[in-house]
Structure 1
Amino acid sequence: MRSIYYLVFSTSLIFLTAETHVLTVKGHLQCAEYPASAVTVKLWKNSEKSIIDDTHSDKQGNFQLSADTIEKDYTPYIVVYHDCDDGVKPGQRKLKFQIPKYYIGSESAFDLGSFNLETRVKHNEERQKHVDRRRREFVVVERKKTTPNVFEMHYCYYALLIAITIGHSLAFRLQGVAVKGKLTCGGKPWKNAKVKLYDIDTNPGDSDDLLDEKYTDKNGEFRVDGTTREMTPIDPVLYIYHDCEDSIKPCQKRITLTIPKKFIHFGQATAWMDIGTLSLETGFPEQDRSCYH
């Protein structure tokens, strides 16, 4: 019995005397120009199986999380669950941000910045929903064989060709999008980061259209606005290239942000998509690198 008491006492003493490492993260969430309040924010250690803190954003959209762990070598994540710009879809949008490990045990808090939840980060969103798919039923109708009228066929063919040509030329309407924001690294403005605005074309043989490109100014701010002509609604994407906390690795990190279609304008920007203040220290799952841009 004494050995059991001794084992329990020794184990407790180890936990009491072990060095702990504090991790504090904070940030501000908004949806468009409004504070995103009552949004669930969780702090993960490596994965969803280990939640070390959770909270909700306040009325101003601010949040703060803190965890005190014995383990120091782990990968921390901020996970945000929200309904911003989500319509009436089931479930919630789920955003995951990786926090640099050097903030574990640091006296400084990691600041996510002021993030606009309208922004969609490529490969960084998850969703759980059930989709029912029904097979289409095809009815086979037996047709009687008739002798084709050559004159009518040619007439219909040329009429259809002319209609398509006219409609095609008229359908190429002018479209564009305008995006602005601020980039930081370590809490300081990140200047001279290249920002490119593209229309992604998914049709075979149709290359992506560069709408605009700029560099962030001394305050880390940028504004890009450009147009192109397309038949269908454009698919605007913002690329951010940077070296924040990247040591001497070749090429540059590239962040891909998908711009909501509601910001598409027809020649003159009526509303700017504001991504907010984005901390480039933040890690994004599936973030790639670019050498030629």
Structure 2
Amino acid sequence: MQRFRQLLLMVTVTIVPFMSVHAGTAEEKGLAIAQEVDRNDQGWGDAAASMEMVLRNRQGEESSRSIRIKFLEVNGDGDKSLTIFDNPRDIKGTAFLSFSHVINADDQWLYLPALKRVKRISSANKSGPFMGSQFAYEDLASFEVDKYHYKYLRDEKLNDQETFVIENYPNYEHSGYSRQIVWVDKQRYIPLKVEYYDRKDDLLKTLTFNNYKQYLDKYWRAHEQVMDNRQNGKTTVLTLSNYQFRIGLNDRNFDRNSLRRAR
């Protein structure tokens, strides 16, 4: 999910990737960096985690939600995720199912237990806010290289870490963003910061990834994600814990019936 499956891992950079991200046009370099981010996060299979979502308004008032999330890696297409709300009581049992796709529009459904119905999220509504947070539905899809075209902007130090700064332009016609600027850690090829620009090309939101931990000696996951809306002053903080990998999840755990089975 830059989304809750978030891009990433530690590997030693070999000569071939090093050359590919330092040569060519700005567009070729940007694409090579994105491909390396994607390549380094392949092979984890399936995973689950606990998550706390804290919503903070402009006045600093907060409300929190307890969530479980499951992930399934899909070869040849985008990944699947299932998000289940456990608290507070008024939204307990609400579940969100997302099938990311490389080329076609993502498939997303929301189960509302109070209405006992599954609502499909239409392509035109994926820029809308997810459950009152500052994350849009489209932010919850997995990162897939072909969803964007790219441009390398510069090298830059961010909080004492050397990064590549690249620009992503969504290929999705209904995206709420005109572009994204991403700071990618040069050593681990993981995102540290993303700026989202709205359709008027004004800065809309900033997402920062904090407290990365490594799993299976390879895969990096940010245990805190902070989305700051620069236009309305609201913030959403996601704190993740209890990551488990390769626990035996399969497609049946992510079919539409899984929304109603979620407990």
- TM-score, length of structure 2 as denominator length: 0.25
- TM-score, length of structure 1 as denominator length: 0.23
Larger Rg: 1
**Greater length-normalized contact order (CA 8 Å, ≥ 6 residues apart):** 2
